[in-house]
Structure 1
Amino acid sequence: MGWKTDYRSFYYQGAPEPEDPILPRGETALLTIDIQNIYMQLADDPVGQTRWAPFLKRMREIVIPTVQQLQARFRAAGMDVLHARIACLLEDGRDRSLSQKKPGWNYLLLPKDTESAQIVPELTPHPGEVVVTKTTDSALTGTNLRLVLQNMGIKNVVMTGIFTDQCVSSTVRSLADESFNVMVVEDGCAAGTDALHRQELEIINMIYCHVLSSQELLALLETNA
């Protein structure tokens, strides 16, 4: 068992195992999507406390510590750490994409300067790190991130963040379509439920990205050091 055989959908059962990726320091960056204060406040009401308890537990005990570890490792190695967050540029949210205006779960009115729109304190960007603010699910579609990555010489993007089945997946697909090599860190991501999380990883694995654990990624980085 391991990243070369785990998270395989129907389409890739029996497919050859992929080769270990080569991750040169100057061509590899860590990108974290949407780990913002708003999503750590989902259990402020009695109904939410039950519904979101598993998600919040995973975020506090697994995802945030994992992303902290990876960010520290990338920074120590002189590798780029980038951040994306979802927020609107206008107070009334007219600049949001249609998907962010639909009623229900996807409806988000997060003006960029509000406390709820900020990245959680544990993952606060360091001075000089790239932070993009998007009004779409995909961090490429809604920003100039593709151009920034290309200008920086980045070819390999390591992905962490939330939600696995929404903004993470949308960004992964956009990166893959732009011919970036993408790796998604399983324990650095979360969806509303573990079932949604795993299902989306199986959908995007092998075609749009490779899914692996943080420890597997760290081992690869050591190999490429």
Structure 2
Amino acid sequence: MVLLVIDTQKLITNDKLYQFHRFVSNLKELIMKARENNLEVIYVRHDDGEGQELTKGTEGFEIYEEFKPRNDEKIFDKTVNSAFKGTGLLEYLKDKKVKDIIITGLQTDFCIDATVKCGFEHGFNTIVPAYANTTVDNKFMTGEESYRYYNEFMWQRRYTQCMSVEETIGKMK
């Protein structure tokens, strides 16, 4: 089992996110418990490309300080929504014979959704802990509506197991 922390970059990790403080608290706890239980914590960063705000080499591209990776933790960079496409992550996990992944991070309706569905397609057993992913309002739905749509309707019993942080920590042991 590994803990995957997706796109928790400085530019987009802010209080515009739905349940921001709860998200930060839950993710910090999951990272801490994963480390305590000797689970690998793997980070993924999104690069929108040259000339964009979220671009490799900019301050906003780096991981949010409260989730900072340790020097021995892997970071994969991506240019599309799925953490598995073209990053080397899929090959890395298969080489290590990983079957179970805890998926966390940003944003629920973009990269988390794509990663959950692609993880399912690649045969991984995934867990999405409650309030360990989040998003912002868009012109169609509020951040809360997006969060609830994916976590409570779209993913559950189709693509992943959605459960509490406490239940997720229990699975780490």
**Normalising to structure 2: TM-score of the pair?**
0.89
Where do residues 49-128 of structure 1 align in structure 2 (5 Å cutoff)? 52=16, 55=17, 58-59=19-20, 61-88=21-48, 91-92=50-51, 109-128=53-72
Q: Is the 8 A contact 1:83 1:125 kept in 2?
A: yes
Does residue 148 in structure 1 map to residue 121 in structure 2? no
Q: Is the 8 A contact 1:84 1:133 kept in 2?
A: yes
Aligned to 1:195: 145
Counterpart Cα distance in 2 of 1:29 and 1:189: 16
Counterpart Cα distance in 2 of 1:220 and 1:171: 20
Deviation (angstroms), 1:109: 4.0
Aligned to 1:159: 103
Amino-acid identity (%) = 25
Counterpart Cα distance in 2 of 1:110 and 1:198: 26
Q: Is the 8 A contact 2:53 2:60 kept in 1?
A: no
Deviation (angstroms), 1:160: 0.7
Does residue 133 in structure 1 map to residue 106 in structure 2? no
Aligned to 1:211: 162
Deviation (angstroms), 1:205: 1.4
**Deviations 1:22-61 (CA, angstroms, capped at 9, x unpaired):** xxxxxx00001111111135x7xxxxxxxx3xx26x22x2
Aligned to 1:36: 9
SS in 1 for 2:159: coil
Q: Is the 8 A contact 1:34 1:84 kept in 2?
A: yes
Give 2:167's aligned amino acid.
E
**How many residues align structurally?**
166
Deviation (angstroms), 1:125: 0.7
Larger Rg belongs to: 1
Aligned to 2:139: none
Give 1:185's aligned amino acid.
P
Counterpart Cα distance in 1 of 2:86 and 2:149: 25
Aligned to 1:169: 113
Q: Is the 8 A contact 2:3 2:41 kept in 1?
A: yes
**Normalising to structure 1: TM-score of the pair?**
0.70
Which runs of structure 1 show a deviation greater than 4 angstroms over 4 or more consecutive aligned residues? Answer: none
Q: Is the 8 A contact 1:87 1:109 kept in 2?
A: no
Q: Is the 8 A contact 1:159 1:184 kept in 2?
A: yes
- CA RMSD between the two structures: 1.6
